[in-house]
Each structure stands twice: as C-alpha cells, then as structure tokens.
Amino acid sequence: MIASLEKHKKLILFDGVCNLCNSSIQYVIKHDKKDTFRFAALQSDIGQQIIDTYHIDTKTTDSILLYSNEHGLSAKSTAALKIAKHLGFPRNMMVIFFIIPPMVRNWVYDYVAKNRYKWYGKKDECMIPTPELKSKFL
C-alpha cells in the first residue's frame, strides 16, 4: 500500500506534537540497530492515508501505529510490543507481555495516552528530523 516504504521495513506512525511520542521515537532510532523502522507523524500525508485506508477514528484511537506492507496495521500496546521485539536485548524481552490480554494491556496504554500531554507536554508543531535522520522519515 505505501509505495515509499521499502520492502521488509516497518513504519511507525506517531503523534508528531507529543513530547512523550517524540522521545519514544528518538529511543527507537537509537536502538534500531538493524534499521528496521521508518517513521511518520500521524499528522503527515502518509499518516492520513493510513488513517483513511483503515478507517481509524482518531477521536477514539489515540495511539501509536505500526504498519508494514506484509503484516498490515497494529495499534496501541500490540504495536508497542512489536516494536520492542525488534530493538535487541533486553528490550525484546518485553514480548513476554503478550501473555496479558490485549484488553488489559490497552487499558494501561490508553491511560498513559490520555494523560500524555498533561504529564509530558506538547509541541506546537511536528518534530523536524535532523539531516542525518531525514532518510528514516517518510
């Protein structure tokens, strides 16, 4: 679906104005030793294309999204755990949390997501990647 996404790469869609989300993306970039991930803000054209294609109601789904051409779309705690799986030891051990039912995992995820602006703040505009990181952003 996303022609600009290279084969075997995964696209992380995140809230570009959220400080917690931006810090999380920086963390993923630092630990993505196999160059698995590409990134785009939910507010970007690609973000909007995926939101429209998958009919995501952004009023009820306040989430990080993980997309790949091979596996489609994951959201919330499932997306976060799938991302951690690719970040090497010990972060990849987070997959143990898949034993917890998604309803429980997503309740915790939603609680943090609902309070993230209050706890971590918000930017006026999306993060602009440095020239070194520009190739990782779609």
Domain spans, the chain: 10-126
The answer to whether 83 touches 68, Cβ cutoff 8 Å, is: no
Cα 54 to Cα 31: distance, rounded to the nearest angstrom: 29
3-class state of residue 40 by DSSP: strand
Using the predicted structure, report yes or no on whether residue 123 has a pLDDT greater than 80.
no
Query: Where is pLDDT greater, at 138 or 88?
Result: 88
Cα 57 to Cα 55: distance, rounded to the nearest angstrom: 6
CA angle, 51 then 56 then 59, to 5°: 110
Q: 3-class secondary structure for 51-109?
A: HHHCCCCCCCCCCCEEEECCCEEEEHHHHHHHHHHCCCCCHHHHHHHHHCCHHHHHHHH
**38-83 confidence digits (pLDDT tens):** 999 888 888 889 888 889 887 777 789 999 988 889 999 999 999 9
Residue 124 has a pLDDT of 67
* Tokens matching residue 66: 């993980």
Residue 136 has a pLDDT of 77
